[in-house]
Chains A and B, each alone.
Chain A
């Protein structure tokens, strides 16, 4: 039983990494740019949910959607301030600009939210799940997170393959100027991509808020792990990203169980390097033909 709990918990954390990483996939698919501060959006999800629910006393069914919407708005801000000015000039400086905006947001949160770690209780973390009288060692929330992650990945897959929007995204990704001439609102689509990507990270942050100690610097490690997961899964493949996320979380939990926490980061990130050396386009990725 002692191995089951860490693995289930790893599954949940891995799905959360996957959800944040899907945000990388969305913006990359549309315009080839990334919000490198996705961890900050996840932190905002947790901090905003705490503020709305605990400080302002909103019911969770209202606070949670409001949190996700606010994170989406933050995504628009990221796009407008740190991405658009550089994409317009065909510059790659959005790379640094998104990191910088993330740091600014982290520190602003430090001022507004305070430095003291807080915690949010939820009915989903009131007691652990038991199956046939034996405790599984995880909260109901742990089981919900992978379900949400898979549902979101599935929805993204469906949108990109089966809808007009998906075709438009493909068009924008292949040739922005041509797409624009065909009447596709390119700027709006890029802005929307950043909003959705930030909202997803916010959703991940809000989902795990009752498990984490909520503090303004909690996003840094999350963002880093999510980026590793996005690259590992292949930036273009939502299923690959969710698979990589789950794999990352489970390997993390398994190595902590087997070796202790001191070796976990060395092992997991070491495996990321190894996996990329063997499959440079990600676990489920396909090599892209680049025409020069």
Chain B
């Protein structure tokens, strides 16, 4: 061991090895994790999120990546809409794959289960879909959770405002799916109605397996409801429409975004178009440079997309696209992939001309939701296509 040249050689090779490792770490891709439903009832929506992220990542990589030349790479895992699987997948992506930012949460229960995991690991968690208010308002400090999507509390306010403005509703009735989502919106809708001093005709629940909602609707009609505020997934929402048809009750229906999650046009029958529901984005809306660019990229990459109407559900694509572009800006602002630095990077974003809107300081001053009720668009089904409704 006293041979100096041998020692020099050992030190030298160690130095080279370290340099090689560091070099590889510096130029390697920045991993973006995605935990979402890729199988089961919501698989289509999980695929929409994937497509939005993929198009944004391709764009960013073609323009040179982030942090002065590092490419973004998407790593995704299936949560099967199951919180336990979501937690396992999130842990794996954070600790084994070392993702810089974790995307995920199609279902509110899954997103809420992932919040503590991401917060503890200090990895920013970006939600492009799940609307549960408590996901971003989660009581953690510092808060690592951000969202580019609708928020139940804001949707409830928007539904009440839309029903009052468009349909002059003076006494709306609530018809809600009997599950935690329906329950949280019942609170939000009642609060929103109370805030504007509007009376309530009643709040009725229905089961996911109900094929006849006429009893509940009959009670609302008897109570003098002049508009219905609907919260339900696609199948149950369709049963509400068909029950209304059978009763011959032509009351206006303002809905959360449930109908957009599937073949509502087929399920609800010829009168599917009577339901006006909230969306964050529609490709059939105003033509902007960002919309044309994303549309062209989607059509080039996915052969099944031949027109804007084939992008379904559009909110998944649009939310995920804008969320990823904002995330890339946050990483560049942070100057590294360190979780806490990226978290602060989100608050430092000044302006981004996105697909859904032009974001001005979207996450500054403790706000963790980039979209508010002023950003929502209203839409309805025309055949199998979702078309935006002009605000009346």
Contact = CB atoms under 8 A, between A and B. Distances in A.
B219 A117 contact: no
* Interface range, A side: 20 to 34
Contact of B215 (A121, A139, A212, A253): A253
A5 B218 CA distance: 9
Contacts of B44: 116
A118 B263 contact: yes
Contact of B248 (A116, A135, A253): A135
A253 B331 CA distance: 57
B246 A138 contact: yes
B41 A116 contact: yes
Interface string A260-278: 1110110000000000000
B221 to A, nearest CB: 7
Contacts of A117: 41, 234-235, 262-263, 267
A213 B212 contact: no
Contacts of B206: 261
B40 interface: yes
A267 to B, nearest CB: 13
Interface string A175-210: 000000000000000000000000000000000100
A63 B245 CA distance: 27
Given A5-B246, A119-B266, A261-B178, A221 B209 contact: yes
A174 to B, nearest CB: 40
B207 interface: yes
Interface in A112-128: 115-119, 121, 125, 128
Interface in A243-268: 253, 256-257, 260-262, 264-265
Contacts of B267: 117-119, 213
B215 A257 contact: yes
Interface in B170-220: 178, 204-207, 209-216, 218-219
A67 interface: no
Nearest to A110: B40
A9 interface: yes
A139 B239 contact: no
A143 interface: no
A121 B267 CA distance: 9
A237 to B, nearest CB: 27
B245 A128 contact: yes
A135 B213 CA distance: 16
A3 B212 CA distance: 13
A215 interface: yes
A13 B235 contact: no
Nearest to B210: A261
Interface of A: 2-3, 5-6, 9-10, 13, 115-119, 121, 125, 128, 135, 137-139, 208, 211-213, 215, 218, 221, 253, 256-257, 260-262, 264-265
The 6 A-B pairs at the shortest CB distance, nearest first, are namely: A2-B218, A256-B215, A257-B215, A213-B235, A117-B235, A6-B215
Interface of B: 39-41, 43-44, 178, 204-207, 209-216, 218-219, 221-222, 234-236, 238-239, 245-248, 262-263, 266-269
12 contacts: A2-B221, A6-B218, A117-B41, A117-B263, A117-B267, A119-B266, A119-B268, A211-B212, A213-B235, A213-B236, A260-B216, A261-B210
